[in-house]
């Protein structure tokens, strides 16, 4: 069997707040309860499991999560970000606010979740 990522754990101050932030941007179903986690199931079967019990809130370290999406999904996600008045950036260093990038001939941007995790959405693989 080929190796594939099954799930990853994201440390969060409030597991359902973080998970709902992501599902809200994606237009995805409500996060699932998976034991002590709030799980966001992606279309490829991978789950992003938000946890608020592993690391104290003041010790959460920012992580980067990159999501490859279709052009249609990108437009919808970007529209939700704009509609919510969220800050977003064209670059991972947050030097180009409220801009999109054109990396690899596609489009992309970065937005922070409630715990400061850097979420990247892009339309062409790196």
SS3 54: coil
Beta-strand ranges (E) seen in the chain are 7-11, 32-34, 37-41, 47-51, 64-68, 108-112, 118-122
**Domain match, 21 and 77 both:** no
Q: CATH no. for residue 42?
A: 3.30.720.120
Q: Are residues 50 and 20 in the same domain?
A: yes
Question: In the 8-state DSSP scheme, what is residue 10?
Answer: E
Same domain, 47 and 92: no
Domain of 17 in residue numbering reads as: 1-54
C-alpha–C-alpha distance, residues 34 and 28, integer Å: 17
| pLDDT value, residue 82 | 98
The verdict on 7 and 47 lying in the same domain is yes
Q: Which of 54, 78, 96 is the last residue of a domain?
A: 54
Q: Clarify whether residues 118 and 95 are in a common domain.
A: yes
Same domain for 15 and 68?
A: no
CB 31 within 8 A of CB 20: yes
Write the DSSP symbol of residue 85. Answer: T
State both tokens at 79.
């529209």
pLDDT by residue for the chain (126 residues), tens only, comes to 899 999 999 999 999 999 999 999 999 999 999 999 999 999 999 999 999 999 999 999 999 999 999 999 999 999 999 999 999 999 999 999 999 999 999 999 999 999 999 999 999 997
Token digits of residue 27:
């237009």
103: domain CATH number? 3.10.180.10
- Residue in 13, 15, 21 with CA at minimum distance from that of residue 81: 21
């Amino acid at each position: 069997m080929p190796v594939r990522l099954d799930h990853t754990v994201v440390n969060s101050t409030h597991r359902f707040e973080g998970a709902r932030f992501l599902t809200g941007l994606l237009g995805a179903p409500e996060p699932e309860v998976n034991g002590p986690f709030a799980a966001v199931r992606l279309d490829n079967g991978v789950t992003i499991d938000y946890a608020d019990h592993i690391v104290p809130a003041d010790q959460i370290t920012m992580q980067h999560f990159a999501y490859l999406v279709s052009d249609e999904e990108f437009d919808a996600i970007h529209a939700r970000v704009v509609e919510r008045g969220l800050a977003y950036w064209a670059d991972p260093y947050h030097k180009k606010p409220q801009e999109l990038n054109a990396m690899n001939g596609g489009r992309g941007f970065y937005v922070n979740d409630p715990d400061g995790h850097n979420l990247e959405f892009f339309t062409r693989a790196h």
